[in-house]
Structures are given as C-alpha cells and as structure tokens.
C-alpha cells in the first residue's frame, strides 16, 4: 500500500477508524432513513405549520444534517490531511485512469437486491474485471423528491436529490460499507455526485417555504406581497410549482420583486416558478417565487445568500461522501449556478463566460473535497475552452471534456472529422492540461450540440469558427433528416454510444441494425477517446450496447413520453433473474451485445476488446501524457492525435471516421519530432514508417494507436 494522504484505500480505513470515535460525540447519530411525512390535516384551506411536522422535516433535511456533518470535522485533524489545491490531480490517474459510470435508476438488478448489494456480487466484479476499469462512478444515489410526491416527476435520472441518505432502491449505509469492503479487496475506487446546485422539492424546500429560520436562504426564494399575487400563475396543488410566463416575470420585475435581467448562459435552461399560498411558522401565508433549473421540480440553491445555508448543504455532502463514505471522485453539478446574477443593465446578457456563482462554488467545494483526500470533477457543464481553463484554475481537479468528446461523437455521426481536428488543435493552443479532462460517452445526457466554443467565437466575429459552426450544424441536420423520429431536443441528440454508431450507418437506432457494424463504430468511438490524456469514463450502457428507446416502448407506461427518455432505457449489466427490476419505471431497452457475463463466452466479445484496449491504455501511460498536436490531414474523415507519453516517446492515434478505406500519412518531422522506431499498440489497420512520416492504412471506421521514439520496436 502506498502511504500517501491521497491514497483512497488508506484514507477510507483511517477515516472510518476516526469516525467510529466521532460517533460517540454528544448529538451525533446515524442519519435517519428517509420516510414520507404527511402534512398535518386541518379544516382550513391552507395547512398550518404544525410544530411536530416541522421537527420531523428538520430531522430529514440536508441543512439540518449538515450540522452533524460539520461536528465530525470541526476541531479534528480530518481537514488537515491533504492539500486543498488541485496540484495532485494527476495522481488519481495512477490509481484509476478508466472508470465505469452507472446510474442506479437504469441498472436492472434482482428484485430482492439493492444496487449496493448487487455491486458486491461476483457477477458484477466479473464484468468490471473483464472491462478493465479501475473505478466505478455511481450516481445519483440520494433520496429523490419523488418520494415526497411534490411533482410526481420521473425523467429517468432521479437527480432531484432531497437527502444525504441513499434512495431505498440504492440501499443503505450498512449495505454500502459491506460493498466498500469488496472495493478495497479489488483495489478499486468509488465515486459519486455531490448534492447538485438544483435540488428536488423535499424537506429543505418545505421548511424554506414555511419561513423557518435560515432555510429560505438556502434557495433563490423571493416573497411576493399579497397585493401582487394577481401576477402569479395558478398552482395545481400546494407543493407543485408553476412556471411564470415572460409577461408575469416582466410584471414582477417592474414592481422590483424580480431582477429585470440575469446574466444568462445560453446553454443552460432556467426560469422562475411560483408556489401556492403556504402558511409559515409565523402563521403568515406567503406565495414565493423561486429560481428553477429545467423544470419547477428542481429548485436552485442560493450560493451567495448571507445565511450560507446552501454552502452548508454542499459542505455536509462533501463530509459525508469523502470523509464518512470514503468516496474518491466527487462530481459537482453546478450548471444551475451559471449566469445566476443580475445583469448590469435591463438587457438580458447572453454570454458563454457568464459563470456566475458556479466558479466560486466550484472553487470552494473543490478545495474542501481535496482537503478530505478526494478529487473533484465538474460535471455536465457545456463550457467553452476558456471556461474549462477558468474552472481548472479554481482548484477543480477534473472537468468534463467539452472540447474533444462532442467532436469525436460528431465525427462518427457525420463521417467528417474537420470539427474534431479544429477542437483538438485549439485545445493544444489553449494550454489546458489534458490530463485533467474526463472523456465521457453518450449516455443519459445524450450528445450535446450546443457547441459553446464555436458559438462564442462566431459571436465574436471569428470567420473560421462561424464557417465551421455552419458546417457542423448542416451535417448534424442532414444526419437528423435521414432518421425517422430523430431524438433531438434543445440541441441535444439523445442517444447512446451504440445508437450513435447505428445513426452513423444511416440506419434506425435499434438492434435491427447490423450488430457487427454498430460494434465497429462504437469501438472506434471508445478507442479514440481512450487514447487521450486524462480519464476515460465509460457507461454501463457501453458494455452491453444499449440502444435508444422509442415512444412505442413506453406504450403502457404512466409516464408521458419525452424525447429525452430515448437514451435512458433500463438495462441489465449482467444476467439477472426473471424477477428483476430497475429503480425506475422507464422501459427496458434492447442491447446490441447482451449482458457482460454472457459476452464472456463469445470470442472477440465487445467487453473483452474494451478490456484489452484499457489495459493497453494504462500500460502505455497515455492517460498521464502531454497532448502535443492534432495535425491537419489530407482526408476529411481522419483525425490524428499525438501525445508525449515520456521524454522522447510519443503515441500517435489515427482514426478513420469515414465509411471508405484510406491511407493517411503524418509528417512528424514538421512537428519537431523524430519518428524513431514505430510499434503498434492497439487497433486495426496497418502502419509503416517512411523517414519521418508515419503512414496509416485504415479501413472504414478503423482506428490505430502506435508508439514511436526511443524504446519502441518495429
């Protein structure tokens, strides 16, 4: 074992030992299990603020629990075990450079098991070992706002978190620690999400609306005087928020209740919603307006409120996840904070640099996560290259790759790698340390076509960016035009990795497409992303080849169909009994490759090829390498990445995203490199050396990675 303050296995054991004594402190108790608490029934139209009910809510609230979390750290040495800066980001790559992301809401397990129990089984670990991943990222795991029946929403993600405790279908603390013993035995890391910037409507929100102490400061809540209630929309039920129309927002802005304009980031959706009349703890009835993200079921925390209630909620989450649960990688979802500040004038300012409180929140929480020995990851934010750099400078360890990943996905869909070569070259010029990027795969969030870097540069008058934006948009629409019922919403293509490959073939995105052709395109997608510096984050959907859903599969569901459900079908990672269910009611999807354990009996199975690829990735050291160049190519469908993996040694990865065979040569001498010896590492096709030129011969949808320079052999 390596005795380092950033050694997750050692940290877990030390912290569990410390916490066993912390548990004896007065006032400390095991977090209570979440239960639905019914409001007190009264004869009045508006339920009164019953003291016993409020007491139960506080016991179940995150803000209330954060007090107990703070007591664990305050006055102890737990906050002094590691540096708060992101200087040790690259060390995580020594432990786990490849991860598997699982959403419990989509993972089908035996009906008698919870997700955490399943993750301790031999079947699960057989799949993990076969795939070659070193870490598992399980999210979301917190109790959902659905259990409080505030909105009855179910979008397949269960990210409307309302509690630090696990959702019932995920498990409980006892099952978690039994599972963690298996992780330690397997020398694997575990990660999960911090409480997001927009929570569900649960105990904290209920207490805020009741005007209990500092709880209103936790959310972006504004009390509307009763004489202005005529400007608010009608609400179906007490706790189901209703969106305000632009006219209603304008009317309240004119009265000085709401700001005239916010500094908006055009890639993020938000608005204002109104509650019904709620009787507070002071016996006064209030109607509130609150900021929401996506839908009124997601209320935005107020990071900059002087009560610091939101800060305490997020801090409590960090203490629990890293300090108590021993999680190594903690994801931060702060999209809802972007642009959340008053614009300098009455004109709504649309700016891709409008990060608002997100930068402050990311820096504060990134430093806290680091202090406890974990690593922070800024997730799911459509950032420009400049935005990515700014977050990395703010003590965030890793950010989602919004430069290369969407461009690789577009190359597979369109057969044209021009956008990919542009983004790769711009990433090199930006000075961003590519080791701190997380390369994700298409999953429940689909493929983003917001294209923030191109949009921002085109808006600034950059002709190259403007022309490329038009080209990518045209190619995207052309691909959509040849598909029946293309799952597109708000510039997001909701599909999976296997589904994207099917779309690239011009076929319907279902298992009726040739599985071998789908597998070939899907593998190319993984290969090119895996051979980049940083973290590769595969999804469970990738291992089994999940295909997108279509409306017909939801015919008997009580949930109204939404296009965003297309990439959220439930699946079995390994074979389960016939009495199996996922933690949500979204339909089962078809899979191109089948459960991971069944693939193990097939020669050349997809999961086996992924395992060989990731083994080669780790062995080469490319994850810790320095991205050097994305040279121009003579063939539009080909992209080449060059990474320095050691002094004098380089990896050259070439991918042909077109449907025709090609020969492509790379003159590394022009880049100031010497070809030296060239040895094949992974992938199909052939490679030859001609002086300082490396010549690739690649078939349709083929990719190949080679190592050149000192120490390489022909």
- Digit-coded pLDDT (tens) for 367-410: 999 999 999 999 977 899 999 999 999 889 999 999 999 999 99
CB 273 within 8 A of CB 248: no
The pLDDT value given to residue 576: 82
The reply to whether 413 falls in a domain is yes
The reply to whether 119 falls in a domain is yes
Q: Are residues 392 and 527 in the same domain?
A: yes
Q: Distance between alpha carbon 63 and the CA centroid of its chain, in Å?
A: 24
The stretch 59-68 carries a mean pLDDT of 95
The pLDDT value given to residue 102: 97
Q: Are residues 605 and 460 in the same domain?
A: yes
d(CA 583, CA 154): 11
DSSP string, 315-331: HHHHIIIIIIT--SEEE
Q: Are residues 610 and 645 in the same domain?
A: no
The stretch 158-162 carries a mean pLDDT of 87
The string of pLDDT tens digits covering residues 9-49 is: 445 534 443 443 333 333 333 333 333 444 434 334 445 66
The stretch 325-341 carries a mean pLDDT of 93
> Where a domain ends, among 614, 637, 672?
614
Q: Are residues 391 and 517 in the same domain?
A: yes
Q: Are residues 475 and 603 in the same domain?
A: yes
501 CB-near residues (< 8 Å, 6+ apart): 412, 517, 518, 519, 520, 521, 522, 525
Number of domains within the chain: 3
pLDDT above 90 (res 682):
yes
The pLDDT value given to residue 43: 35
Cα angle 529, 533, 539 (rounded to 5 degrees) comes to 40
Which position has the higher pLDDT, 41 or 221? 221
Comparing C-alpha atoms, which of 584, 566, 497, 559 is closest to residue 115? 584
> Where a domain ends, among 614, 640, 667?
614
The pLDDT value given to residue 9: 44
Count CB atoms within 10 A of the CB of residue 373.
Answer: 24
CB 179 within 8 A of CB 116: yes
d(CA 529, CA 412): 12
Length of the chain: 714
The reply to whether 541 falls in a domain is yes
Q: Are residues 643 and 522 in the same domain?
A: no
**Percentage of the chain lying above the pLDDT 70 cut:** 85
Q: Is residue 595 packed enough to be buried (19+ CB in 10 Å), middle (13-18) or exposed (0-12)?
A: buried
The reply to whether 240 falls in a domain is no
The reply to whether 467 falls in a domain is yes
d(CA 477, CA 466): 17
Q: Are residues 433 and 480 in the same domain?
A: yes
Q: Are residues 70 and 107 in the same domain?
A: no
Q: Are residues 610 and 630 in the same domain?
A: no
Q: Are residues 647 and 592 in the same domain?
A: no
The string of pLDDT tens digits covering residues 456-470 is: 999 999 999 999 999
217-231, 680-694, 697-711: which is most confident? 217-231
Its domain, for residue 689, covers 625-709
The string of pLDDT tens digits covering residues 292-322 is: 998 999 999 999 999 999 999 999 999 999 9
pLDDT above 50 (res 364):
yes
CB 199 within 8 A of CB 238: no
In this structure, of 98-107, 216-225, 361-370, 674-683, the range with the lowest mean pLDDT score is 674-683
Count CB atoms within 10 A of the CB of residue 389.
Answer: 16
CATH of the domain at 421: 3.20.20.80
pLDDT tier at 5 (50, 70, 90 boundaries)?
Answer: very low
Q: Is residue 307 packed enough to be buried (19+ CB in 10 Å), middle (13-18) or exposed (0-12)?
A: middle
pTM over 0.75: yes
The stretch 613-617 carries a mean pLDDT of 98
> Where a domain ends, among 546, 581, 614?
614
Q: Are residues 46 and 171 in the same domain?
A: no
Half-sphere exposure of 340 (CA within 13 A, CB side): 30
The reply to whether 286 falls in a domain is no
pLDDT above 90 (res 120):
yes
The pLDDT value given to residue 154: 56
The pLDDT value given to residue 550: 82
pLDDT above 60 (res 511):
no
CA dist 247 to 250, 265, 423, Å? 5, 21, 40
pLDDT above 70 (res 267):
no
The pLDDT value given to residue 538: 98
Q: Are residues 556 and 639 in the same domain?
A: no
The reply to whether 432 falls in a domain is yes
CATH of the domain at 633: 2.60.40.1180
The reply to whether 313 falls in a domain is no
CB 315 within 8 A of CB 70: yes
In this structure, of 474-478, 521-525, 682-686, the range with the lowest mean pLDDT score is 474-478
pLDDT tier at 7 (50, 70, 90 boundaries)?
Answer: low
pLDDT mean across residues, the chain: 87
pLDDT tier at 268 (50, 70, 90 boundaries)?
Answer: low
pLDDT tier at 477 (50, 70, 90 boundaries)?
Answer: confident
CA dist 127 to 7, 27, 136, 440, Å? 25, 42, 12, 19
pLDDT tier at 352 (50, 70, 90 boundaries)?
Answer: low
């Amino acid at each position: 074992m390596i005795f380092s303050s950033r050694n997750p296995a050692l940290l877990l054991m030390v912290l569990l030992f410390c916490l066993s004594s912390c548990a004896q402190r007065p006032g400390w108790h095991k977090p209570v299990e979440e239960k639905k608490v019914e409001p007190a029934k009264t004869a009045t139209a508006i339920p009164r603020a019953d003291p016993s009910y409020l007491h139960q809510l506080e016991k179940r609230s995150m803000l209330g629990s954060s007090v107990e979390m703070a007591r664990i750290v305050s006055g102890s040495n737990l906050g002094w075990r590691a540096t708060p800066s992101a200087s040790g980001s690259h060390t995580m790559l020594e432990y786990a450079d490849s991860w598997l992301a699982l959403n419990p809401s989509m993972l089908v397990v035996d009906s008698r098991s919870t997700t955490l129990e399943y993750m301790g089984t031999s079947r699960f670990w057989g799949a993990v070992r076969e795939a070659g991943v070193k870490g598992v990222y399980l999210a979301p795991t917190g109790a959902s706002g659905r259990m409080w029946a505030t909105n009855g929403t179910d979008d397949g993600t269960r990210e409307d978190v309302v509690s630090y405790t696990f959702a019932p279908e995920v498990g409980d603390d006892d099952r978690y620690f039994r599972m963690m013993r298996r992780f330690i035995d397997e020398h694997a890391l575990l990660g999960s999400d911090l409480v997001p910037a927009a929570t569900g409507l649960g105990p904290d929100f209920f207490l805020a609306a009741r005007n209990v102490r500092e709880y209103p400061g936790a959310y972006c809540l504004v009390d509307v005087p009763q004489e202005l209630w005529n400007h608010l929309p009608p609400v179906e039920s007490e706790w189901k928020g209703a969106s305000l129309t632009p006219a209603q927002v304008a009317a309240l802005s004119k009265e000085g209740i709401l700001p005239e304009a916010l500094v908006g980031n055009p890639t993020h959706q938000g608005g204002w919603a109104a509650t019904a009349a709620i009787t507070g703890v002071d016996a006064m009835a209030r109607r509130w307006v609150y900021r929401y993200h996506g839908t009124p079921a997601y209320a935005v925390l107020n990071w900059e409120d002087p009560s610091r209630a939101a800060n305490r909620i997020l801090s409590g989450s960090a203490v629990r996840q890293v300090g108590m649960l021993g999680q190594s990688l903690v994801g931060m979802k702060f999209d809802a904070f972007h642009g959340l500040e008053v614009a300098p004038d009455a004109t709504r300012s649309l700016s891709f640099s409008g990060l608002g409180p997100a930068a402050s929140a990311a820096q504060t929480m990134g430093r806290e996560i680091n202090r406890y020995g974990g690593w922070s990851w800024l997730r799911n934010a459509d950032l420009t290259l400049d935005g990515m750099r700014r977050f990395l400078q703010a003590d965030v360890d890793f950010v989602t790759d919004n430069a290369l990943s969407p461009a690789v996905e577009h190359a597979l869909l369109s057969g044209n790698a021009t956008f990919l070569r542009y983004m790769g070259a711009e990433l090199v010029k930006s000075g961003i340390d590519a080791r701190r990027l997380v390369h994700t795969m298409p999953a429940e969030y689909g493929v983003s076509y917001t294209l923030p870097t191109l949009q921002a540069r085109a808006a600034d008058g950059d002709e190259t960016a403007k022309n490329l934006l038009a080209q990518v948009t045209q190619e995207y629409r052309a691909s959509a035009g040849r598909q029946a019922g293309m799952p597109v919403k708000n510039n997001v293509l909701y599909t999976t990795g296997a589904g994207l490959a099917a779309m690239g073939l011009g076929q319907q995105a279902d298992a009726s497409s040739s599985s071998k052709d789908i597998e070939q395109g899907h593998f190319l997608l993984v290969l090119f992303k895996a051979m980049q510096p940083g973290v590769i984050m595969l999804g469970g959907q990738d291992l089994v080849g999940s295909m997108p859903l279509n409306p017909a599969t939801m015919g008997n569901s009580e949930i109204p169909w939404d296009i965003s459900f297309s990439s959220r079908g439930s699946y079995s990672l390994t074979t389960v009994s016939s009495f199996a269910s996922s933690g949500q009611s979204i339909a089962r999807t078809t899979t191109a490759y089948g459960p991971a354990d069944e693939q193990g009996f097939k020669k050349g199975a997809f999961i086996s090829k992924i395992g060989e690829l990731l083994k080669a990735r780790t062995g080469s050291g490319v994850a810790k390498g320095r991205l050097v160049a994305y040279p121009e190519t003579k063939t539009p469908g080909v992209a080449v990445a060059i990474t320095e993996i050691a002094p004098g040694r380089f990896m050259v990865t070439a991918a042909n995203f077109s449907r025709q065979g090609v020969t492509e040569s790379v003159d590394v001498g022009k880049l100031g490199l010497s070809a030296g010896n060239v040895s094949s590492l992974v992938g199909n096709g052939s490679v030859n050396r001609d002086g300082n030129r490396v010549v690739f011969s690649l078939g349709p949808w083929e990719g190949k990675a080679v190592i050149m320079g000192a120490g390489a052999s022909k």
